[in-house]
Amino acid sequence: MKLVVWLLLVGLVFGLGCGGKATVTVLSEPVKLAYKDVGGQAVQYKMTSSVTMNLGGSTTTWVSDITYSAKVESIYSEGTIARRITFDDFSISTISGGRPEPDEAAAGYKGQYLWLKLGPAGQIVDWKGLDKLSSYTAEDRNLRDVLVQQMATLFQPLPADPVNIGSKWQSTVEIPVTIKGGDFKQKVKTDYEVSGFGQRSGRNCAKILVLASVEGEGSGTRGADRKFWVEASGLGKGEMWFDYENGLLVEYGVGVTADQTINYERAGKADVATEFATIDSQSKIRLVK
């Protein structure tokens, strides 16, 4: 089901469930939420994700385990930030019929880097890297392109003004993805609200509630030039914890459930067949060091 990978992998970004409890308090003065260079040092994160798709009663699960280091290289006056991300470990497996099958293309990203420049609203300004593989199949290019979008979305936009409990802001990002035989576009709208402040992993953090809506559509061809069309929509909610003293993310997550409709032409048939799928994702990102 390569034609739905665009939604599945981008969905990993939103499939994050941050567990555990922390004491939440109110601050006497508003605080500024802003990314900082952390003394020029790289910080390391671990992201584990599970995405399950049910298509016509058949269930497939994608499991990922990614460890990456991120270093802020430049912070520009207009709010644009350039980061260098190195993948310390990288694996994706497919579980169908109870048996996991590792994705060999995904394993090839271990040790590679991504230089990512994002605008103040979280939009991609420029990127480079992920180019050391000896060759690319269509599936490799798909994974690479979606991975760039995924990593960009991890660095959530922050408000310009200081915040306290009840402060809100919003972002809207369009995510184009090209895979073999088709082009797709996702629109992700995210609402944020500060719900409190407290300790997370020994750090003073703002707790931020996250509500996300996802809409996507696309079309293309597969097998003997048969056309297909895809529509998808989903909703999610969760939270993130941001260290406002050191300017870095500590945990981040939203769980998303999405519905997808696939219409496609059939060889030798005049009518169009329709398939329906539901997609559920759960993951967690946490600061390692």
H-only helix segments in the chain: 5-14, 104-107, 138-154
Asked if residues 244 and 234 have their Cβ atoms less than 8 Å apart, the reply is no
Helices 138-154, 5-14: axis angle to 10 degrees equals 20
H-only helix segments in 54-137: 104-107
d(CA 92, CA 177): 19
d(CA 136, CA 116): 21
pLDDT digits (tens, 9 = 90+) for 43-70: 999 988 888 989 888 898 988 899 999 9
- Tokens 């499939």: give the residue: 15
d(CA 286, CA 289): 9
Q: What's residue 143's pLDDT?
A: 60
Other beta carbons less than 10 A from residue 194's beta carbon: 22
Structure tokens at 8: 């599945």
CATH architecture of 2-287: Roll (2.30)
- Tokens 């520009």: give the residue: 76
Alpha carbon separation from 13 to 38, 94, 97, 230, 232 (Å, rounded): 24, 17, 25, 20, 16
d(CA 123, CA 29): 30
Tens-digit pLDDT profile for the chain (289 aa)? 333 443 444 444 443 444 445 556 777 899 999 999 888 899 999 988 888 989 888 898 988 899 999 999 999 988 899 999 999 998 888 888 778 888 776 777 888 899 999 988 788 899 998 876 544 455 555 666 767 877 887 788 899 999 999 999 999 888 777 666 778 888 889 999 999 999 999 999 999 999 999 898 988 887 667 888 889 999 998 899 999 999 999 999 888 899 999 898 877 676 788 889 998 988 889 999 8
Q: In the chain, where are the structural domains located?
A: 2-287
Q: What's residue 8's pLDDT?
A: 44
Strand 43-55 versus strand 203-222 pairing type: unpaired
Strand 182-200 versus strand 203-222 pairing type: antiparallel
Q: pTM for this one?
A: 0.83
- Tokens 């409990």: give the residue: 165
Asked if residues 226 and 55 have their Cβ atoms less than 8 Å apart, the reply is no
d(CA 15, CA 18): 10
